[in-house]
Chain A
Amino acid sequence: MSQEFRIKEKGYINRNKLINFKFNGKSYTGYEGDTLASALLANGIHLVGRSFKYHRPRGFFAAGVDEPNAKLQVKLNGHSEPNVNATEIELVEGISATSQNCWPSVDFDVGAINNLLNKFFPAGFYYKTFMWPKSFWYKIYEPFIRKAAGLGVASTEKDRERYEHKFEYCDLLVTGSGPAGLASAYAAAKSGAKVILAEDKHRFGGSLLMDDVSIDNLSGKDWADKIISELKEMPNVTVKNRSQIFGYYDHNMLVMFERTGDHLEKKSEFTPRQRLWYIRCKEVILSTGSIERPIVFGNNDTPGVMLSSGAKEYMKVYGVLVGRKPIIFTNNDSAYETAIEFKNNGADPLILDTRKEQDSDLINEAKNKGINIKFNHAVIKANGYKKVKSATIGELSEDKTKYDNISTIKCDCICVSGFWTPSVHLTSQSGNKLKFNKEIDAFIPDKSKQNEITIGAANGSFTLHDSINAGFHAGNEVSKKINNKNVDVQIPTVTEKKHNTHDKFWCAPLPKNIKAKRFVDFQNDVSVTDIEIALREGYRSIEHVKRYTTLGMATDQGRTSNLNGLQLVSNIENKIVPEVGHTTFRPPFTPVTIGTIVGREVGKHFMPTRLTPMHNWHIKNNAVFVDAGAWKRPRYYKIGNENMLEAANREAKNVRDKVGICDVTTLGKIDVKGPDAAEFLNRVYTNAWMKLPIGKARYGVMLREDGMVMDDGTTTRISENHYHMTTTTAQAANVLSHLEYYLQIVWPELNVNVLSTTEQWAGAALAGPKSRDVLAKLFPNLNVSNESLPFMGFTEGDLFGVPARIFRISFSGELAYEINVKSDHGLFMWEKIMEIGKEFGIQPYGTEALSTLRIEMGHVAGPELDGRTIPYDVSLDGMVSKKKDFIGKRSLSKSAFNQSDRQKIVGLVPIDRKTSIPEGSHLVIDKNAKLPNPKLGHVSSSCWSVENNNPFSLAILKDGKNMIGKKLFAVSPLKNKSIEVEVISSHYVDHEGKRVRS
């Protein structure tokens, strides 16, 4: 029979809508409003997974975020997701789930042999076992551990779902819609404050959904529904369900994860699956409630053992009976409500209470209902492998360390309650140092750190009266702060049952003749023995114990295990819990999908793409692009079946022989203006700038204060107080910040302004012996002779009606010009140049040919200026003024920079003149020398010299200038190459620099 554990007419599920789903290949049904967990339990399924280390059978332990065991691989809408918490995912048509960490099936799992071998898997097992021999690590141990560990399987397919980010601001954020949260949100909202109320479950109300209480003569649930519907009507309030606040960051920014899509049977393509909210709020009320903690006993991980609160929630909210013959094992009154609920639904509960015989409202109600109660009793161990069949119980001795009578009692589930632990994760993340409260044996918030206040069960007050009062009070306080208003709201009257104090009993002693594992942390298979071993081996700090044993790690973050772990450590150490302290709470509180964190910033939306005005022309002419920061630059223009090297060589050769054109729009451009501009440049650059005439350009090198070359480029004096600076593409943004730093902070007395004009100008480099011929035709009214427009000259011209700037500068080492026009005219300029250049054999060239041309010439670029080279290292000695001071100059006189054997730039050619030298190769004397082979330098840039028709590289080599003529080996273990090379000058072509001046 399907859903045989469903109770008639109980719960808040929609019985009119039956939902089909699959678990481990078999079909089941549940109802709308179920979670995957409640639907499985309705079908009598407890066994859902195998444990992490020992592969022990595991069942549902809780009904919410505290669930440590029920992590499933869930397939929905065609995508598969691992480690989904079955207690949190809502049931929808077509959902299919499978157990993890088991093979071939959860019912028969080969890995369960680990359980029999558990002697060999103690705490720190991995650390101890997989140490030796060292060579085994990569090939044997690591793959084995990878296979054995891990929970589900991450999908290798592209995630086709839509995820969104949202930024929100509010006066007050309330986290959790239990009684305290509802009361505070309501009070603050009434004063007109902008409020966001977030609830992680799909139903609002928190404990009000389960507890037997009344507020203003309404049931808890009805009161919650009434408040929520009022809040939803208010324009200043946003009410969000299925929304988990998972992180509390600095300056009151909280991050929320909203499940927007997975619960919908049909959603439009525009509905995101999940949404991430960044919420910046003035005030925060943390009403995150509490989590029941278990009592530790033997085989307490057997399926059928669960938290008493979980069992109650399954009955009250989902109408599911988790057992017909339950044992309720408790040290406090709250579990009596679970027992009474069992009884009301026809089950036959037995209560084992560790306390002495006593009376209270609840105890008496249980007695009156005829529930069997055994005081002074504890569960010693659960019996049964894949499901609880019976419990070994004992009557506790006076000091509760021994048992007087031991017996075995049949049961089909054990509901355990070891009292309540406030959920202080978010409070702690806010920076609040927690304090230990001896009355509840748990940590509660101390002083507020940000504008936050923790109330209700999260603050350790476990009565409804206190929670509601704290809620209204806090809401009112916030209103006063925000709107300077007192709220006129009547605090409702509350009826609830009084509870007796709990017993500090947290772990059932194990008699010597009874063997059973007692788990503290279910998710990580950490038992009492493991923690004892860790302490025996000398681990003292709770943070170290955590890492050695894995206590409290992984997706559940020790929600049910932390305090019991602390109790155990403090018992062994003869300390009290607050002396042991607690481990750090870190976000996220619950696992968050990577998709949600990334949002829409995937693929080409990962970052903006910068395109030059000529981009579409490049596409039409078969350009293959390369990313240069955010820019797309043509790498080469493919003709026919050419490969990259063939294309680059053709393009570079065409520049050397005829004329080429390159899109240089991406170069950084900065306008430097003001009466002190020359003085400023003189301080920024290593060379002299005071005497640069109007209409002339100059090459400049700038350093960081530590003496390293920061950037290079040309700067042109356009008019008296106006300079046009160019930077490399990569450093454009850094150089601007650098200039602003000096102008605004170091030398504010200089009257200079800087402004980026990179986007304002489109640039084309016209290079090659025929470039002047092309230029003359482009500007027929301009005298472009060597005399009128010499090397490093500048002029302005009219390009068929478009104003243009013409710089005679060269990166290729050829006669060359750079033409700039306003960006809007970039494409016009480019097409005109191509049209006019046709008769001279013009071809476009990309960054590969650009590199070839500059490497041959020995011009340095990014690979040489890598932040580790000073000007003297890269043959820029001539650029360094001896006469004036400039940024970084003082560093150049440091002794380390003046060692004779410093690594300096050289050229390299392979001895065979054939084999190209991989960039990044190390230079060594003897390729067969014993490791570590002394490294003399590295290959920075490589090309195929089109001038000399053989490979050529630039390298940074120890004592470089004195090594010229020597033979070395360039070794690249990555490419598995070692090439004999000869050291030559870094200027391979046109050593005297005649061409640029021709």
Chain B
Amino acid sequence: MLHIKCPYCGIRSQNEFAYGGDASVKRPELNKDVPDKEWDDFVYNRKSLRGKHIELWHHVSGCRQWFKAQRDTATHEIFKTATMNEEI
């Protein structure tokens, strides 16, 4: 079980969190013409990287904040976590 450092609450056990996927995905702006490819990339297409990955986690059983984590998908090592407005 992972040990995850919530940027607001500190280190907590994995079962307090929900995984939120790739943090680099940006939602296209509202009220803009979005080509099919761009929309499909946003909704469906993910890289499924092996190695370092910046991803979203949600502290659902805690402060309910979404935040970013840099994790190695092969080893589960978590290098860093950050609030949404911090760079990682």
Interface residues of A (CB under 8 A from B): 249-253, 278, 280, 431, 449, 683, 705-706, 733, 736-737, 740-741, 744-746, 748, 884-885, 890-891, 894
Residue B58 contacts which of A253, A706, A740, A894 (CB distance < 8 angstroms)? Answer: A740
- Residues from 2 to 37 in B contacting A, C-beta threshold 8 Å: 2-3, 13, 18, 20, 27-28, 30-31, 34, 36
Taking the complex as formed, is B76 at the interface, i.e. its CB lies under 8 A from any CB of chain A?
yes
Q: For the complex, give the distance between the alpha carbons of A281 and B85 in Å.
A: 32
A215 CB → nearest B CB, Å: 38
| Complex CA distance for A249 and B27, rounded to whole angstroms | 35
Query: Which residues on the B side are within 8 Å of A745 (C-beta)?
Result: 56, 66, 84
B43 at the interface (CB under 8 A from A): yes
List of B residues within 8 angstroms of A253 by Cβ: 1, 3
Residue of B2, B34, B43, B60 touching A251 (CB-CB under 8 A): B2
| B1-A250 in contact (CB<8A) | yes
Known: A250-B76, A251-B3, A252-B3. 17 other contacts (CB 8 A): A249-B1, A251-B1, A253-B3, A280-B3, A431-B75, A449-B75, A683-B30, A705-B27, A705-B43, A706-B43, A706-B44, A733-B60, A744-B65, A748-B84, A748-B85, A884-B31, A890-B34
Question: When chains A and B are docked, how far (Å) is the Cα of A431 from the Cα of B72?
Answer: 13
Known contacts A737-B58, A741-B20, A745-B66: A890-B39 contact under CB 8 Å: yes
A-B contact pairs, 5 of them (CB 8 A): A250-B3, A253-B3, A280-B3, A741-B58, A741-B66
Q: Which B residue's beta carbon lies closest to that of A255? A: B1
B28 touches A890 (CB 8 A): yes
Contacts of A746 in B (CB 8 A): 27
3 smallest CB-CB distances across A and B, nearest first, come from A251-B3, A885-B30, A250-B76
CB < 8 Å: which of B2, B18, B31 contacts A737? B18
Give the nearest-CB partner of B76 in chain A. A250
Question: In the assembly, what is the distance between CA of A985 and CA of B42, in Å?
Answer: 37
A891 touching B43, Cβ below 8 Å: yes
Central interface residue in B30, B31, B60, B64, by most chain A CB within 10 Å: B30
How many Cβ-Cβ contacts under 8 Å join chain A to chain B? 54
Q: Do B64 and A740 have beta carbons less than 8 Å apart?
A: yes
Bound complex: CA A278 to CA B31 (Å):
50
Dominant SS among interface residues on chain A: mixed
B residues less than 8 Å from A449 (CB atoms): 75
Chain A residues near B44 (CB, 8 Å)? 706
Q: How far is the CA of A146 from the CA of B58 in the complex (A)?
A: 45
Closest to A249 in B: B1
B66–A251 contact, CB under 8 A?
A: no
Question: How many whole Å from A149's CB to the nearest CB in chain B?
Answer: 33
State A280–B76 Cα separation when bound (angstroms).
16
Q: Nearest chain A CB to B3's CB is how many angstroms away? A: 4
Residues in B with CB closer than 8 Å to A251 are 1-3, 76, 78
Bound complex: CA of A737 vs CA of B59, how far in Å?
A: 10
Closest to B3 in A: A251
- Docked complex Cα distance between A253 and B11 (Å): 14
Alpha-carbon separation in the docked complex, A736 to B59 (Å): 13
A669 nearest CB across to chain B (Å) = 16
**B26: nearest chain-A partner, CB-CB:** A746
**B2 contacts A744, C-beta separation under 8 Å:** no
Q: A250 contacts B85, CB within 8 Å?
A: no
Min Cβ gap B82→A in Å is 13
Residue of B nearest to A736 (CB): B64
A452 vs chain B, min Cβ distance (A): 14
Which residue on chain A has the smallest CB distance to residue B13?
Answer: A280
A737-B60, A890-B34 known; A744-B75 Cβ under 8 A: no
The answer to whether A885 touches B1 (Cβ under 8 A) is no
Q: Are A250 and B2 in contact (CB under 8 A)?
A: yes
Which chain A residues border B1 with CB–CB below 8 Å?
249-251, 253, 278
In the bound complex, what is the Cα–Cα distance between A885 and B58 (angstroms)? 26
Contacts of B20 in A (CB 8 A): 741
Instruction: Give bound CA distance, A683 to B76, whole Å.
Output: 36
> Would you give the shortest CB distance from A164 to chain B, in whole angstroms?
18
Interface centre among A249, A683, A890 (most CB of B within 10 A): A890
- Bound together, the chains give a CA A441 to CA B85 distance in angstroms of 54
How far, in angstroms, from A683 to B30 measured CA to CA in the complex?
A: 9
Q: For B31, give its contact among A280, A706, A748, A885 (CB under 8 Å).
A: A885
Report the minimal beta-carbon distance from A281 to chain B, rounded to whole angstroms: 11
Quick one: which of B37-77 are within 8 Å of A by CB?
39, 42-44, 56, 58, 60, 64-66, 75-76
* Measured CA separation A842–B74 after assembly (Å): 61
- Which residues of the other chain, B, contact A733 by a CB distance below 8 angstroms? 60
Which residues does chain A contribute within 8 Å of B36, judged by CB atoms?
894
Give min CB distance, B66 to chain A, whole Å.
Answer: 5
Which of chain B's residues have a CB closer than 8 A to the CB of A278?
1
A95 CA to B31 CA, complexed, in Å:
75
Decide: A891 and B39 in contact? CB cutoff 8 A.
yes
User: Which of B43, B60, B65, B78 has its CB near the most chain A CB atoms (within 10 A)?
Assistant: B43
User: Which residues of chain B come closer than 8 Å to A683, judged between CB atoms?
Assistant: 30
Q: How far is the CA of A706 from the CA of B41 in the complex (A)?
A: 11
Q: In the complex, how many angstroms separate the beta carbon of A639 from the nearest chain B beta carbon?
A: 42
The answer to whether B42 and A705 touch across the interface, beta carbons within 8 angstroms, is yes
Bound complex: CA A737 to CA B64 (Å): 8
Contacts of B28 in A (CB 8 A): 890
B56 (CB) vs chain A CBs: closest residue: A745
Residue of B nearest to A733 (CB): B60
Q: How far is the CB of A706 from chain B (nearest CB, A)?
A: 5
Q: Please give, as numbers and ranges, the residues of chain B lying within 8 Å of A741 by CB-CB distance.
A: 20, 58, 66
> Which A residue sits closest to B23, measured CB to CB?
A745
The minimal Cβ–Cβ distance linking A62 to chain B, given in whole angstroms, is 32
Q: Smallest CB-CB separation from A743: which chain B residue? A: B66
Whole-angstrom CA separation of A737 from B1 in the bound complex = 22
Which residue of chain B has the shortest Cβ distance to A895 in the bound complex? Answer: B36
How many angstroms between the C-alpha atoms of A746 and B56 in the bound complex? 12
Complex Cα spacing A683 to B31, Å: 11
Closest to A682 in B: B30
- CB contacts (< 8 Å) of B13 on chain A: these are 280
A705 to B43, CA, bound (A): 7
Question: Inside 8 A of B78's CB, which chain A residues have their CB?
Answer: 251
Alpha-carbon separation in the docked complex, A521 to B21 (Å) = 44
Instruction: Tell me the nearest residue of chain A to B39, going by C-beta.
Output: A890
Residues of A within 8 A of B66 (CB): 740-741, 744-745
User: Can you name the residue of chain A whose Cβ is closest to the Cβ of B32?
Assistant: A885
Looking across the interface, which residue of chain B has its beta carbon closest to that of A741?
B66
Hey, which chain B residues are within 8 Å of A740, CB to CB? Answer: 58, 64-66
